[in-house]
Amino acid sequence: MHRLVAIVCLVCVSLLTASLVLAQEADVSSEQGEAIQETVPGTAPGEGEYRSFLGLDSRVIVWVVAQVHLMFAAFVLGVPMFAVIVEIIGVVSKDDRYDHLAHEFTKLLSAAFSTTAALGGLLAFTLFGLYPRFMGYMSGIFHGSMYVYALLFFAEAFSLYLYYYTWERLRNRKALHISLGVLLNVVGTALMFIANSWLTFMMSPKGVDPATGALISFRDAFANPLWQPINVHRLIANVTFGGFVVGAYAAIRFMNAKTDEQRAHYDWMGYIGNFVAILALIPLPFAGYYLGREIYSVSPVMGNNMMGGAFSWTFIIQAILIGMIFVGANYYLWTGMSRIPGSERYTGYIKYLNVILLLCFAVWLTPHNLPLSSEEQLLMGGQYHPVLKYLGLMSAKNAAVNFIILSTFFSFLLYRRANKSERVPVSEQGRTVKIVVSAVGVLCMALLGAYAYSLLALDPTTLDLAPEKSRYFVLPAVLLIVQIGAIGACAVLTFVNRGIVAQAALFGVTILSVVFILGVYGFVVMTEANPFLRNIAVCQVLLVLSSLVFGSAIDVALFRKAQQVGNIAWGRIPIRSQYTLVLLCVSIVLLMGLMGYIRSGLREDWHVYGVIRDTSQWAFTPTMAYMSKVVALCTVIFLGLVTFVFWLSGLQQKESEPDS
Amino acid sequence: MPRRRMSLFWSVVVACASIYVFLAFVFPYAAMWIAGSENALPVPAALIAIFMALTIVGALIHVSTDDDRLREFLDPVVRLLRGWDRSEGYSTRAVARLAVLTAFPLLVGWVVYGAAAPDTRTPSLLRIQHPTMPGRYENLTNPFADVDEATRAQYIEEGTTLYQVNCRPCHGTKADGAGPMARGLRLKPADFQDAGTIGTVVESYAFWRIKEGGRGLPMAASPWDSAMPAWKDELSDEEIWKIVMAEYAIAGREPRKPESHE
């Protein structure tokens, strides 16, 4: 058996190397590019450009197939990441439950994998069949990386099955098995990065002659400006997506469970799925901000269209969905408190959290631009409400989002400590704890310090600001330094056994700076030194992240080896919470469909933005109603298929039921 | 004797109702006072709907995080629906039940009637202030961007003159949207001092708007509402660029820079 493993590993590695070589080779020189241009006659519209079958709308076909394929792909790429992490946790904590869970995740994966591949094939065929000229152009540029992609797909399949089927055999050689899992993730990520370059090329083409579309540099076309932002964004989003789908799976199994044991297992699984998803959800707004900014840089028109133009209301829908996800995730935690003995001590906080979350959402959902009747317009003296308009602006939104993230984190802290009683004082714990806490603290301080320094040293002219505007950089820098001081003080407090006070203080300082000071200061900066607004956003992110990271470090130290009031009664949770998990899953699928639409819709009537125009009859930008219907259709198809596939994978399990 | 606490159900109802009262009747006056406006500033109906939806969601979350609380909340509803004990005779609860069960269908009927009956109010429309500009304007740049300081000052001065002659009646001497003609318009002339107008667009965007006016707007921006004239027949491109520069200078705003890479 080990020999087999070794051979397959070798194959995978050689495939990887081969693909890297190919990728190098695919760096076509410009003559070759021209040659391709001739064989794929051009960018001028002619006949045979578009086809359709059965009189169906070709765009909707490609749209739905691509979206459902992407949803499956997100699941298949996201789940291995946390399957491996859960497996590692299992090894470290020597708790078998984690190992079973990782195994169960992987089982779902292997069921979903072939569907993903089949959908990918379908997508390729529909694209080539219905959009021959455009795909001719794309394959002219990217055919090199397309072969690599196909080869990597083999590697992905092999490493996935290897990882899954060697689970039992390699039980005693966990290190090897975990490396297989890591290999699976490496291959999967490489696959996604390649595919990403195609679609980001369509939005931000580089390395081609804008007039003729002829290829000049493959490297530039491949690593086009939006490639990295999309890579980052998708990598994180996939984990969130996988987590919520797993959570819903667990919820449905929970509701169908026959025994208390099963209920306990699926309750726990749902909890882990939700936990992973939220963890990945927290950095997602930041990644989105980065992507949005880059879209603005690529084309101000596209950027303006996105935030202020035809797509601005899609972002209100996005805000509603994200709102549902955050509120839902918190609600799930709150209802879950009832199964934790000792939680009565903390449930009193829930109502305040609820109020804070909803106030933040009220701010977050308030559109800058509202549907108005003309009487309202007249009374308000214009398009915007003189007072409420401020809630519609970026600074208010940023403050609200950061507050939401901090509150969600607070819910987690409550949940974690709900059943802890007697703590071991930090001063009596070993040295490692202190070292870890200090190291984390120093890391946070260094990060904050570096940014504070860069703000103070920032030359306003690089932001196209007059030199005297540098005075606006001071306050954020001071807040960063205050935060450094707060972290230091909190570390000391923790070491003298005042950890709870330290956490509260850290939280207080962060909320004050991020929400109340920078949130308001943002409006000043917006009118006085607009380009600097971005740096304010980065400041807020750093303050929040440092508070989350250091707050967690303190928490770990505080409750290490603490006694428990009682064990969590897994499985004793109101059924409402399980419906919440299902709702979370539906929301994230809708959200993904919506964002997929925005990303490709932004190109408007271009296949490749600014290079190849879409001259088909389907080139119009859909209305919101039309878009919602298609996205809803994708969601229904995806959830239907997933349910079916999971049901299939459950058939085999029925026979070996007792072990679950 | 200790005062009896209001039941959970009624406190939720009262809380939701007071939030509504606040939004619909109190806030407009508070906003009037804050903004120093002459009339009350109503919260747009669309926004009230959003806020009330959030309030109700919040209330439902509050009552359902805990099993006991949920039971307490539903208790009056369940008791009402379950009916009354005949032996008690016609108690107040029986009357209440009858009233609710009659009022509900009437309420539904009224809502349906309201939705179907013809209406004299103007419809609520979403107007997009900054729709996508046509592609041919996208790559235009200000031809006077690189002139030296003295020339620049001179152009701004020429632009200011043109502005005061052509634009002031609506957009105001100080570019604050309060020109003498502004009062007559429902959709007010843009206030260029406001951070949300010309400060958020690139120069070529302002150029497009001046050249093509309200008529040049796409449907999403409800061109029929806008009194902004198209200036392409009146003013030359050069003059328009000078006005653009002047307009930013008078309002004390910077145009959005087309962001570049690296």
Please give the average per-residue pLDDT across B74-97, as a whole number.
76
Residue A135, pLDDT score? 92
Q: Could you state, in order of their start, the residue ranges of all structural domains in chain A?
A: 422-561
Task: Kindly report the backbone phi and psi dihedral angles of residue A342, in degrees, each rounded to the nearest multiple of 5, phi listed first.
Answer: 100, -10
Please give the average per-residue pLDDT across A576-605, as a whole number.
94
Q: How many residues does chain B have?
A: 262
- ipTM for the whole complex: 0.81
Confidence class of residue B53 from pLDDT cuts 50, 70 and 90?
very high
Mean pLDDT for chain A overall? 86
CB contact under 8 A, B66 and A338: yes
At A65-102, the pLDDT tens digits run: 999 999 999 999 999 998 999 999 899 888 888 999 99
Q: Does B45 touch chain A (CB under 8 A)?
A: yes
Distance from CA of A154 to the nearest CA of B (A): 37
How many distinct helices (H) and strands (E) make up chain B?
A: 10, 1
Kindly list the distances between the CA atom of residue A71 and the CA atoms of A116, A412, A452, A642, in Å, as whole numbers in the listed order.
9, 28, 40, 10
Please give the average per-residue pLDDT across A94-116, as a whole number.
88
Q: Does A301 touch chain B (CB under 8 A)?
A: yes
| Number of cross-chain residue pairs from A and B with Cβ atoms under 8 Å apart | 161
Distance from CA of B87 to the nearest CA of A (A): 38
Q: Rounded distance, CA B200 to CA A304, Å?
A: 9
Residue B202, pLDDT score? 86
Q: Rounded distance, CA B63 to CA A495, Å?
A: 40
Q: Rounded distance, CA A102 to CA A86, Å?
A: 6
Enumerate the residues of chain B whose CB falls inside 8 A of the CB of residue A394: none
Residue A655, pLDDT score? 52
Lowest mean pLDDT among A257-271, A453-467, B78-92, B107-121: B78-92
Enumerate the residues of chain A whose CB falls inside 8 A of the CB of residue B186: 374, 377-378
Q: Which of A351, A298, A291 is nearest to A318 (CA)?
A: A291
Please give the average per-residue pLDDT across A466-491, as a whole number.
92
Distance from CA of A605 to the nearest CA of B (A): 11
Confidence class of residue B4 from pLDDT cuts 50, 70 and 90?
low
Is the predicted pLDDT of residue A24 greater than 70, yes or no? no
Please give the average per-residue pLDDT across A156-165, as a whole number.
92
Is the predicted pLDDT of residue A22 greater than 50, yes or no? no
- Closest-CA residue in chain B for A392? B196
Distance from CA of A241 to the nearest CA of B (A): 24
Confidence class of residue B88 from pLDDT cuts 50, 70 and 90?
low
CB contact under 8 A, B125 and A385: no
Is the predicted pLDDT of residue B220 greater than 90, yes or no? no
Residue A26, pLDDT score? 42
Percent of chain A at pLDDT > 90 equals 52
Is the predicted pLDDT of residue B55 greater than 60, yes or no? yes
Distance from CA of A331 to the nearest CA of B (A): 7
Residue type at position A408: T
Enumerate the residues of chain B whose CB falls inside 8 A of the CB of residue A376: 42, 44-45, 124
DSSP A294: H
Residue B1, pLDDT score? 46
Please give the average per-residue pLDDT across A284-300, as a whole number.
85
Cα-Cα end-to-end distance for chain B:
75
More confident residue, B128 or A597: A597
Residue A38, pLDDT score? 38
Residue A377, pLDDT score? 81
Nearest to A373 among B55, B123, B195 (CB): B123
Kindly list the distances between the CA atom of residue B78 and the CA atoms of A379, B70, B71, in Å, as whole numbers in the listed order.
45, 12, 9
Lowest mean pLDDT among A17-31, A311-325, A462-476, A559-573: A17-31
Residue B31, pLDDT score? 92
CB contact under 8 A, B44 and A370: yes
CB A21 within 8 Å of CB A101: no
Q: Rounded distance, CA B138 to CA B131, Å?
A: 13
At A376-412, the pLDDT tens digits run: 888 887 778 888 888 888 889 889 999 999 999 999 8
CB A28 within 8 Å of CB A218: yes
Confidence class of residue A561 from pLDDT cuts 50, 70 and 90?
confident
Residue A545, pLDDT score? 92
Q: Rounded distance, CA A548 to CA A407, Å?
A: 11
Distance from CA of A390 to the nearest CA of B (A): 10
Residue A7, pLDDT score? 57
Q: Which of A319, A300, A264, A135 is nearest to A571 (CA)?
A: A264
Distance from CA of B199 to the nearest CA of A (A): 8
- How many Cα atoms occupy the beta-carbon half-sphere of A17 within 13 Å? 5
Enumerate the residues of chain A whose CB falls inside 8 A of the CB of residue B176: none
Is the predicted pLDDT of residue A39 greater than 50, yes or no? no
- Closest-CA residue in chain A for B126? A371
CB contact under 8 A, B44 and A372: yes
More confident residue, A443 or A470: A443
At A593-613, the pLDDT tens digits run: 999 999 999 988 889 998 888
Q: Does A379 touch chain B (CB under 8 A)?
A: yes
CB contact under 8 A, B259 and A296: yes
Is the predicted pLDDT of residue B196 greater than 90, yes or no? no
Please give the average per-residue pLDDT across A261-273, as a whole number.
93
Residue A209, pLDDT score? 87
Percent of chain A at pLDDT > 70 equals 91
Buried b (16+ CB within 10 A) or exposed e, A526-555: beebbbbbebbbbbbbbbbbbbbebbbbbb
Pick the residue of B29, B132, B139, B194 with the most A CBs within 10 A to test the interface with A by mutation. Answer: B132
Q: Which of A193, A312, A65, A200 is nearest to A603 (CA)?
A: A200
**Contacts with B, A 600-619, CB within 8 Å:** 604
Nearest to B220 among A310, A358, A378 (CB): A310
Distance from CA of A526 to the nearest CA of B (A): 7
Mean pLDDT for chain B overall? 87
3-state secondary structure of A372: strand
Q: Rounded distance, CA B145 to CA A45, Å?
A: 37
Confidence class of residue B3 from pLDDT cuts 50, 70 and 90?
low
CB contact under 8 A, A382 and B177: yes
Is the predicted pLDDT of residue A31 greater than 80, yes or no? no
Cα-Cα end-to-end distance for chain A:
26
Residue A17, pLDDT score? 54
3-state secondary structure of A140: helix
- Closest-CA residue in chain A for B128? A309
Residue B248, pLDDT score? 94
Percent of chain B at pLDDT > 70 equals 94
Q: Is B15 exposed, middle or buried (0-12, 13-18, 19+ CB in 10 A)?
A: middle
Please give the average per-residue pLDDT across B28-42, as a whole number.
89
Residue B9, pLDDT score? 92
Confidence class of residue A4 from pLDDT cuts 50, 70 and 90?
low
What number does CATH give the domain B135-261?
A: 1.10.760.10
- Closest-CA residue in chain B for A334? B65
**Contacts with A, B 211-240, CB within 8 Å:** 220, 225
Is the predicted pLDDT of residue B120 greater than 90, yes or no? no
Residue A210, pLDDT score? 81
Q: How many residues does chain A have?
A: 660
Helix axes A227-256, A58-93, angle to 10 degrees: 70
How many distinct helices (H) and strands (E) make up chain A?
A: 22, 3
CB contact under 8 A, A384 and B196: yes
More confident residue, A365 or A45: A365
Is the predicted pLDDT of residue A106 greater than 70, yes or no? yes
Lowest mean pLDDT among A310-324, A326-340, B170-184: A310-324
Lowest mean pLDDT among A6-10, A46-50, B191-195: A6-10
Confidence class of residue B84 from pLDDT cuts 50, 70 and 90?
low
Task: Kindly report the backbone phi and psi dihedral angles of residue A387, in degrees, each rounded to the nearest multiple of 5, phi listed first.
Answer: -105, -50
CB contact under 8 A, B51 and A362: yes
Pick the residue of A226, A352, A361, A385 with the most B CBs within 10 A to test the interface with B by mutation. Answer: A385
Residue A47, pLDDT score? 54
Q: Which of B19, B78, B27 is nearest to B50 (CA)?
A: B19
Enumerate the residues of chain B whose CB falls inside 8 A of the CB of residue A335: 64-66
Residue A461, pLDDT score? 84
Is the predicted pLDDT of residue B62 greater than 70, yes or no? yes
CB contact under 8 A, B127 and A374: no
Q: Could you state, in order of their start, the residue ranges of all structural domains in chain B?
A: 8-116, 135-261
